[in-house]
């Protein structure tokens, strides 16, 4: 039975529904529309459970996380099917979403026996100096709909390993997947009350961000909402606030690039998940010498992609998340046409026989300038804006002109050019001869500028957003020693020194 999961119990009155975006008449579950009262209960439950959890040795915490990963693996097929039905991902992408959570559990569990800090030499004798990580207490986690299992795992597992309690507020567009994920954690032996889930809309999110008992907030979503989260959290601090926001990711294509590889990369990067990824390839910054051929290749492949029910193995592109998203995407395309861009292919909201949801045709726009709105704002749909340039230097300038800085790619056979681009591009992630999507969990994930606020998820740094550094000094000399006290006499001239010292 779906509902809020608080203190090891399922509670709440079912109010809003989760719908299948491909078949909107299909209800996948009904969930509570929570507010401050429910959030308060969840935070208190997490705080109580954390007092015991923090005393569990870190390797033992890791064993619980590893058990969750094993259970995720055993239920991968059914969970991936739910991902397809709730957010419209085709089978391979839905399976990849769940596999990320499985891999994240294994990776984080492995960190339970790795270094938890650093040891440094002291400037004084008989003194030990080192650092360690210290849990913050209760972590409030707010996750988006487009990676409904992977992103919760990116946040929950490191938070648990660090010794914290958790309250998860998933997107109201994907509550069933988050509910299933937390159920698996419970089944794997996560202690009651340690991981709680509170469903709802803006009221639930705001209550979680501003709750005085929440010491760390991790948010993935839009720039606009992220700014509100940061401001609201600051009013009820102290809190660690990590933000993973939007992207306007670009792929540079130079004349010497492997154009077959370019085409494969663009089709996957721009139209996979119907373009509904923060790392989707949204801008193609292509050298004018090969622009005609590259655009023709991409448009030809895009026109052949099969739209349909994501549970059908023959489907290449599933629906967008809802009708509002389809209208928003189309408004961007119409705005680009008004700015002077040409539609090479796509450019329409469409339907698919047997499906009641909204689909958007994979779209290629040519004649886009760097200052056009379509080149500056996140569309979050299967729309590729093509910008032509005359040099690598100009291409990098176009990439860096965006207020976002998540992911970028450069395609070239010239290793010197590739490394020059890697050094100059101002994004958190750079790919060479690969599209802008495809993060690996052992690597830090995050961006620069308006994409984030400096924290990184995943990788060895993933735990930093859920813990604080504690510096430790142990003096075993048995006497008072003063660090950073000047014990040296000032330098004196020869005339000032005693005669015996001068001789």
| CATH code for the domain of 167 | 3.40.605.10
Same domain? For 332 and 421 the reply is yes
CATH of the domain at 276: 3.40.309.10
pLDDT in tens, 429-466: 999 999 999 889 999 999 999 999 889 999 988 999 99
Does residue 333 belong to any structural domain of this protein? yes
Place of tokens 């740094």: 461
Same domain? For 274 and 137 the reply is no
Which residues, 6 or more positions from 166, have their beta carbon under 8 angstroms from its beta carbon? 46, 138, 139, 141, 156, 159, 160, 194, 195, 196
pLDDT in tens, 323-377: 999 999 999 999 999 999 999 999 999 999 999 999 999 999 999 999 999 999 9
Confidence of residue 174 (pLDDT cuts 50, 70, 90): very high
Confidence of residue 484 (pLDDT cuts 50, 70, 90): confident
Same domain? For 229 and 347 the reply is no
pLDDT in tens, 269-286: 999 999 999 999 999 999
Q: For position 494, what pLDDT does the model report?
A: 56
Does residue 481 belong to any structural domain of this protein? no
Residue 501 has pLDDT above 90, yes or no: no
| Residue-range definition of the domain harbouring residue 74 | 4-245+453-469
Q: For position 492, what pLDDT does the model report?
A: 56
pLDDT in tens, 113-159: 998 999 999 999 999 999 999 999 999 999 999 999 999 999 999 99
Same domain? For 234 and 281 the reply is no
Same domain? For 155 and 204 the reply is yes
Q: Are strands 138-142 and 216-220 parallel, antiparallel or unpaired?
A: parallel
Residue 502 has pLDDT above 60, yes or no: no
Look over the chain and give the mean of its residue pLDDT values, rounded to a whole number.
Answer: 94
Q: Are strands 429-432 and 407-411 parallel, antiparallel or unpaired?
A: parallel
Which residues are bridge partners to 241 per DSSP? 217
**CA atoms of 330 and 321, how far apart (whole Å):** 14
Confidence of residue 235 (pLDDT cuts 50, 70, 90): confident
For the residues 462-476, what does the mean pLDDT come to?
A: 95
For the residues 392-420, what does the mean pLDDT come to?
A: 97
Which residues are marked as active site?
244, 278
Give the whole-number percent of the chain exceeding pLDDT 90. 91
Same domain? For 206 and 347 the reply is no
More confident residue, 502 or 232: 232
10 Å CB burial of residue 218 (0-12, 13-18, 19+) is buried
Same domain? For 200 and 333 the reply is no
Does residue 499 belong to any structural domain of this protein? no
> How is the beta sheet containing 138-142 ordered, strand by strand?
9-11, 4-6, 195-197, 165-169, 138-142, 216-220, 240-244
pLDDT in tens, 68-98: 999 999 999 999 999 999 999 999 999 999 9
DSSP labels for 370-388? TTSHHHHS---SSEEEEEE
Confidence of residue 500 (pLDDT cuts 50, 70, 90): very low
Domain count, the chain: 2
**CA atoms of 291 and 316, how far apart (whole Å):** 25
Q: For position 491, what pLDDT does the model report?
A: 56
Same domain? For 186 and 71 the reply is yes
Whole-model pTM: value is 0.93
Give the whole-number percent of the chain exceeding pLDDT 70. 96
Residue 490 has pLDDT above 70, yes or no: no
Q: Are strands 16-19 and 27-31 parallel, antiparallel or unpaired?
A: antiparallel
> How is the beta sheet containing 119-120 ordered, strand by strand?
119-120, 127-135, 467-475
């Amino acid at each position: 039975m779906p509902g809020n999961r608080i203190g090891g119990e399922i509670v709440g009155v079912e109010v809003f529904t989760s719908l299948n975006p491909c078949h909107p008449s299909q209800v996948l579950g009904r969930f509570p529309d929570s507010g401050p009262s429910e959030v308060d209960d969840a935070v208190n439950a997490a705080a109580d459970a954390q007092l015991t959890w923090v005393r569990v040795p870190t390797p033992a915490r890791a064993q619980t996380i590893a058990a969750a990963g094993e259970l995720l693996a055993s239920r991968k097929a059914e969970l991936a099917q739910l991902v397809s039905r709730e957010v419209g991902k085709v089978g391979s992408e839905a399976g990849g979403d769940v596999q990320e959570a499985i891999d994240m559990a294994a990776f984080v569990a492995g960190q339970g026996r790795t270094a938890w800090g650093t040891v440094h030499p002291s400037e004084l004798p008989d003194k030990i100096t080192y650092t360690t990580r210290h849990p913050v207490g209760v972590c409030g986690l707010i996750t988006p709909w487009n990676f409904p299992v992977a992103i919760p795992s990116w946040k929950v597992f490191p938070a648990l390993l660090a010794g914290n309690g958790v309250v998860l507020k998933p997107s109201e567009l994907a509550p069933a997947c988050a509910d299933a994920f937390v159920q698996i954690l419970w089944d794997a032996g996560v202690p009651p009350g340690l991981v709680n889930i509170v469903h709802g809309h803006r009221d639930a999110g705001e209550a979680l961000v501003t709750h005085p008992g929440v010491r760390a907030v991790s948010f993935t979503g839009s720039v606009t909402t992220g700014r509100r989260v940061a401001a609201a959290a600051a009013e009820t601090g102290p809190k660690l606030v990590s933000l993973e926001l939007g992207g306007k990711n670009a792929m540079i294509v130079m004349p010497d690039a492997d154009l077959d590889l370019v085409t494969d990369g663009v089709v996957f990067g721009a139209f996979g998940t119907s373009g509904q990824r923060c790392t989707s390839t949204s801008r193609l910054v292509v050298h004018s010498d090969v622009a005609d051929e590259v655009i023709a290749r991409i448009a030809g492949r895009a026109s052949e992609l099969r739209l349909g029910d994501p549970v059908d193995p023959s489907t290449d592109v599933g629906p967008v998340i809802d009708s509002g998203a389809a209208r928003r995407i189309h408004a961007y395309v119409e705005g680009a046409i008004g700015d002077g861009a040409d539609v090479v292919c796509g450019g329409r909201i469409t339907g698919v026989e047997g499906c009641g949801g909204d689909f958007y045709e994979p779209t290629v726009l040519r004649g886009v300038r760097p200052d056009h709105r379509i080149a500056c704002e996140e569309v979050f749909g299967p729309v590729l804006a093509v910008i032509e340039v005359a040099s690598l230097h100009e291409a990098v300038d176009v990439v860096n002109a965006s207020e976002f800085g998540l992911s970028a790619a450069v395609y070239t056979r010239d290793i010197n050019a590739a490394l020059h681009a890697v050094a100059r591009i101002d994004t958190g992630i750079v790919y060479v001869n690969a599209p802008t999507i495809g993060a690996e969990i052992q690597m830090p994930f995050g961006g620069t500028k308006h994409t984030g606020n400096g924290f990184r998820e995943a990788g060895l740094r993933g735990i930093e957003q859920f813990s604080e550094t504690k510096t430790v000094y142990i003096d075993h000399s048995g006497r008072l020693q003063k660090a950073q006290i000047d014990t040296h006499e000032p330098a004196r001239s020869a005339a000032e020194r005693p005669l015996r010292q001068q001789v």
